Chain A
Amino acid sequence: AQKITQTQPGMFVQEKEAVTLDCTYDTSDPSYGLFWYKQPSSGEMIFLIYQGSYDQQNATEGRYSLNFQKARKSANLVISASQLGDSAMYFCAMRAYLEAAGNKLTFGGGTRVLVKP
């Protein structure tokens, strides 16, 4: 079975500063993918970034980067130069390719980020 843990229920960040959102995962599957999504108050889940378990380099996508530490089973999201529009819930999710049929994503409980001007 897969499990995703996000230990920070909420956090404040100053505009223009960087913020790191923690995510740890647990799976016995050697092949898996890690995803981060952003959910503004409007409700839509917006895909941000993906990291495959066999990827040698950390994923980056604009102001988003994923700090992937495989041995520690962590996949922290780093948002650089925070903007007011970054205020939202952030979810870490995992897909275990061998164990989870039907492209099932397991989600963490989320971290609420509030960017202060």
Chain B
Amino acid sequence: ETGVTQTPRHLVMGMTNKKSLKCEQHLGHNAMYWYKQSAKKPLELMFVYSLEERVENNSVPSRFSPECPNSSHLFLHLHTLQPEDSALYLCASSQDLAGGTDTQYFGPGTRLTVL
């Protein structure tokens, strides 16, 4: 595996379900990110982790719960979602948060549909 991988690629869930999105980066990076891409809206940054510590949380509802057990893995735990949460969820990683090595590399995304 190379780059940034995400599983599953597609997910359909009911509003009462609990599911998790997984992201894994094989680039040796220290920072990881979750983004949400809704139809006709710019990408929205949700969470930022650096060396497994959360450094940014952009007013995301608590029904989205991130977890970063190590610098290679990032999860997004989902529970009691709403239909408006249907979107493409993209994971990204970068070497660091700044200093010229901050280019973010993205995974293929998980397309989530909430019924």
Contact = CB atoms under 8 A, between A and B. Distances in A.
Nearest to B4: A44
B104 to A, nearest CB: 6
Contacts of A109: 42
Given A102-B48, A103-B31, A107-B42, A43 B102 contact: no
Given A103-B94, A104-B45, A43 B108 contact: yes
B43 A91 contact: yes
Interface string A31-51: 001010100001111110010
Given A104-B48, A105-B45, A107-B43, A45 B90 contact: yes
Interface in B74-106: 88, 90, 92, 94, 97-98, 100, 102-106
A1 interface: no
Main secondary structure of the interface of B (DSSP, over half): strand
Contacts, number: 58
A103 B108 contact: no
Contacts of B55: 101-102
Contacts of A50: 103
Interface string B46-61: 0010100001100000
Contacts of A97: 98
A35 B100 CA distance: 12
A66 B42 CA distance: 21
Interface in A85-117: 91, 93, 95, 97, 101-110
Contacts of A106: 42
Nearest to B102: A103
A46 B43 CA distance: 14
Contact of B106 (A37, A52, A101, A102): A37
A109 B43 CA distance: 8
B104 A105 contact: yes
A33 B105 CA distance: 15
Interface of A: 4, 33, 35, 37, 42-47, 50, 52, 91, 93, 95, 97, 101-110
